[in-house]
Amino acid sequence: MTFDYTADQVQLRKAVREFAEGEIAPHVMEWDEAQTFPLEVVRKLGKLGYMGAIFPEELGGAGLGYIEYAIIIEELSRVDGSVGIIVAAHTSLCSNHVYKMGSDEQRRKYIPKLASGEWLGCWSLTEPEAGSDAAGTRTKAVRDGDDWVLNGAKTFTTNAHYADVCVAMAVTDRAAAQHGISAFIADRGTPGFRAGKKENKLGLRASATGEVIFENCRLGAGQLCGKLNEGFVDSLKVLDGGRVSIAALAIGMAQGAYDAALRYSKLRKQFGRPISEFQTIQNKLVDMAVDLDAARLLNYRAGSMLDQGKRVTRESSMAKLFASEAAVRIANEAVQIHGGYGFIKDYPVEKFYRDVKLCTIGEGTSEIQRLVIARQLLKSG
Ligand SMILES: Cc1cc2nc3c(=O)[nH]c(=O)nc-3n(C[C@H](O)[C@H](O)[C@H](O)COP(=O)(O)OP(=O)(O)OC[C@H]3O[C@@H](n4cnc5c(N)ncnc54)[C@H](O)[C@@H]3O)c2cc1C
């Protein structure tokens, strides 16, 4: 067991931080206000190898592991959670579903383009009536000759409006419930496949979240991804990795909020002294720092187990649950340490406070993480 970053990991963090501070930080508030999707940044991240960190080099990926992937998401999210979630949904949901469950042909067709950032991916599981209970999916795929015809609407899909590729779950055998849902890959431009309403959100406003609609959308047999009827079960495996990226998203934003609060506490003077000299403020900073460290350790454990090819349902749920709830606490205290200025958009912490809340909801709410962890604990007890 070792708790040191490798020299390469230190270098990677530095490189991503420099990119985020140089290319993203100057635009964050403007993108947030106008809900501008940073497509140019996505292309640049692709050129740097950050859109396909976890995929092998022979498929155009960077050949890195989950710790490195978490470092990339953390550093992007430390500056802008919107960029963090765009990369996370693209990489660990869409691309990873194709990489893990797809055929060799699908891997060769999609992963190089996704990993280079030339194509952006999205992943659609959630529906208006099927959120936490995602097995209640209603979108259906009916066989017609060799083809599949999809009808239905997905909701809350990250990247929906900018994606070139969508992995979507649809019912292929209603009687079989969880074992009657399959995953399909839909390419942008396929007739009958389009993005619908784009949501106006509390936070992560530069990321695009919205509907994905299928209207008599005909997909060839080669667009089925993974085994027929196993798409939902595969999704749960994909989400194990996805939760490491949501934890990293939370940790990155929490780090940004903590850094801002620490800096501000040393500059802001009240009663003739910097507020950092008051023990109450110090206690807040201590609790924030401990939460951050604990969240990182839980997440790197899950990441390192994923790198060893282990199943991490319990560990990634624990990391996601703790990191997201800790990040909400940290962002809240960061606003508090800023006093009235924390409420004002000239300071970065109000945005972290808004953005970070998604982490306790997306890819399974805190309540669902507790159900998942409880099931694992009871199974092993
Ligand atoms: C910004 C954003 C981005 C997203 N990106 C994607 C994406 O890319 N792809 C995708 O497929 N989805 C995405 N989602 C959807 C997200 O995963 C769901 O919103 C989430 O799973 C919760 O589903 P729901 O919103 O329907 O809430 P519900 O399931 O309706 O939950 C409502 C409340 O009830 C609680 N609850 C539900 N069931 C139980 C239970 N059994 N026990 C205890 N409490 C329960 C929940 O915890 C929650 O507090 C995104 C959502 C947002 C907001």
What is the tens place of the pLDDT at every residue in 144-194? 999 999 999 999 999 999 999 999 999 999 999 999 999 999 999 999 999
What pLDDT, on a 0 to 100 scale, did the predictor assign at position 295? Answer: 98
CA distance 18 to 72: 12
Token digits of residue 229: 């009827």
Average pLDDT of 265-277?
A: 98
CA distance 80 to 33: 13
Nearest CA to ligand 1 atom 6: 157
Best mutation site among 126, 154, 317 for ligand 1 pocket (most ligand atoms within 8 Å of CB): 126
Tell me, what amino acid is at 346?
D
Distances from the Cα of 194 to the Cαs of 140, 163, 217, in angstroms? 16, 10, 9
What is the tens place of the pLDDT at every residue in 241-256? 999 999 999 999 999 9
Residue 151's DSSP bridge partners are: 140
What is the tens place of the pLDDT at every residue in 100-158? 999 999 999 999 999 999 999 999 999 999 999 999 999 999 999 999 999 999 999 99
Instruction: Please name which of 325, 249, 230, 288 lies closest in space to residue 90, comparing C-alpha atoms.
Output: 249
Question: Which ligand 1 atom is nearest residue 160's CA?
Answer: 8
> Taking a C-beta distance cutoff of 8 angstroms, is the pair 29, 47 a contact?
no
What percent of the chain is predicted at pLDDT more than 90? 99
Cα of 180 vs its chain's centroid, Å: 26
Token digits of residue 375: 């099931």
- What is the Å distance from ligand 1's center to 133 Cα? 8
What pLDDT, on a 0 to 100 scale, did the predictor assign at position 221? Answer: 97
Residues within a 6 A CB radius of ligand 1: 89, 123-126, 131-132, 156-158, 201, 204, 209, 358, 361-365, 367-368, 371
Residue 340 has pLDDT above 90, yes or no: yes
Strand positions, DSSP E, 28-180:
121-124, 140-144, 147-158, 165-171
Best mutation site among 82, 361, 373 for ligand 1 pocket (most ligand atoms within 8 Å of CB): 361
User: Which residues form the catalytic set?
Assistant: 363
Residues 6+ apart with CB under 8 A from 62: 49, 50, 52, 53, 54, 55, 68, 115
Residue 381 has pLDDT above 80, yes or no: no
Residue 209's DSSP bridge partners are: 158
Question: Which ligand 1 atom is nearest residue 365's CA?
Answer: 47
10 Å Cβ neighbour count for 162? Answer: 19
Q: Is 341 exposed, middle or buried (0-12, 13-18, 19+ CB in 10 A)?
A: middle
Residue 1 has pLDDT above 90, yes or no: no
380 pLDDT band (50/70/90 cuts)?
A: confident
Residue 198's DSSP bridge partners are: 210
Residues 6+ apart with CB under 8 A from 205: 31, 32, 33, 35, 82
Instruction: Please name which of 131, 181, 152, 204 lies closest in space to residue 354, comparing C-alpha atoms.
Output: 204
